[in-house]
Chain A
């Protein structure tokens, strides 16, 4: 019997420990010194928000910026439903959406060229430039072999974004397509970049921040997706990267938006590979 009491004591000890930690953790909930700012939406804007939040949170102990992906539509929807403080979108807000959230304020923190990237093998084999018509034909399935655009005699592996993403929408709109012959559909910009860089004969499209050495960008209609070409309006596929708020931001939300637009915030934009809008 004594043995059992001992064991019981041990068990209740563990349970007690668990309970104490629970109380301790719920105690933190009541601590309202920390202001929470939630940012959700486009995966193109995501690295900007993430890197900015990392620095911002370090400097502001009383504000916690949480960042999540979800896509442009999701970001705008979160503003409409009020489930997030800031919604990110890599496309412009649509009139139908503005109707649902009339006080929406747009903060454009960066510009972006939609880069067409190819596998390194293809790039090295000489496909370093395409026309928008060629890209359209590749995505519509009219061109299926690299040799038709001056590359090796290999079939093209066409990679696209999930058709729910803002980048997909922008790309299709800019090319005037409504259906593709893609072989692979990827969730986020980074997934497209990885798929293209791990294959040998692939083509895909990503935000400028996602160009890599194994997924180099090619020139479109003679222009590379560079800062100068996008700002001058020469590069055909381009867009703004927006952060939307419901009404003029105040308090912690305003501080974060201000940080994004500050010199340091715009430096982060450039570091990631997008185009700063000021400074």
Chain B
């Protein structure tokens, strides 16, 4: 390996270590010594300088100067950091914030660490376009890691904090003392009843819409309008669904009474576009030749759809429905004004009666956190909700992946 590559590798390793130290300090809010900052940034700067000089001596082009310049900038950041006061108090400027210099130090270490490891790819590939590519790929890999990081952080925290709270009693007992003791049985039953009912309502509507869009009319103004409506419905905020459910179902249809049916109808509207889209996709995946063959044999359009198109697309349709149900199970805003009452005991007792639901129970527990002993119950409820919702989603995704390559 050439000296140039070795120096670049050295820069990469040092920068990654500095970035990790910065990340660790940031995550744990550890105190960062000024000399640790200047030491690590200084080292990076020296390696950049060495790399630049080496390159300049061997190749004599402007890239070496760029490295030296970059090293100088890093050194300048390190040097200027001493002017950051122990606590940066922004209150005189009406911003109520006091940031300790540790925060800046760990941020500098993290960003300059990442930047320098990115820079190190250039000298490693002798400043060719491959160097630019490797550097870019490196940043892209980092961004996928940081995209998935929240998922793991959320999972880790909820599982580690909620695991202990999930017991048999938690799953089967009534809510006692506003959730301080007892379980969440009524909430589980409420959520299950609600999503079952939602599925029953939404399945024919979603599949019907999809059949019309995919089989009867692929073009034309009507289709354009319907498609736009489905898209708008998909983007509509869940709180707007809640408002509509309250204004229409609760106030007009059910005479001011919050109930299971009103909640399920609202959730059905919310999930309609999800079901429609997946069903349409599934129907479109059925090859046109099959339809033509059926029609040529003298079958009517409806017979063709019923006997030829729907059966093979059933897994896809069900997947979409299940995905929609997963979304419905976790929603709070649409049921807040339409279906839920605080209700200590009792499972759903009828379509026109209010219910308790898991996401709403989590909200009411959250409200009590801090001055009542509900935190472990809240974490357990969050974990249970997550297991239910992600379990539903995961089964849908697995089914979909399994049936994906059918045609």
Contacts and interface: CB of A to CB of B under 8 A. Distances in A.
Interface of A: 4, 7-8, 11, 14-15, 18-19, 21-22, 25-26, 28-31, 34, 36, 38, 46-47, 50-51, 53-54, 57-58, 64, 66-69, 81-83, 155, 187-188, 190-191, 193-194, 197-198, 210-215
Contacts of B348: 25, 28
A68 B341 contact: yes
A194 B367 CA distance: 7
B349 A50 contact: no
B371 A190 contact: yes
Given A14-B318, A83-B255, 16 more contacts: A18-B200, A18-B203, A22-B196, A29-B353, A34-B349, A51-B344, A54-B177, A66-B354, A68-B258, A69-B342, A155-B91, A188-B367, A190-B367, A193-B371, A194-B368, A194-B371
B345 to A, nearest CB: 4
Given A22-B196, A155-B96, A29 B350 contact: yes
Given A54-B175, A54-B345, A198 B314 contact: no
A21 B345 contact: no
22 contacts: A4-B312, A8-B311, A11-B314, A18-B200, A22-B200, A26-B350, A29-B350, A38-B257, A50-B344, A51-B344, A57-B344, A58-B345, A64-B343, A68-B258, A82-B256, A155-B91, A187-B367, A190-B367, A194-B371, A210-B371, A211-B371, A214-B371
Contact of A64 (B349, B369, B372): B349
Nearest to B308: A4
Interface of B: 91, 96, 174-178, 193, 196-197, 199-200, 203, 255-258, 311-312, 314, 318, 340-346, 348-354, 367-372
B8 to A, nearest CB: 48
A211 B371 CA distance: 7
Contacts of B372: 190, 212
Nearest to A40: B341
Contacts of A210: 371
Contacts, number: 118
The residue in A36, A197, A213, A214 that gathers the most chain B C-beta atoms within 10 A of its C-beta is A36
Contacts of A38: 257, 341, 354
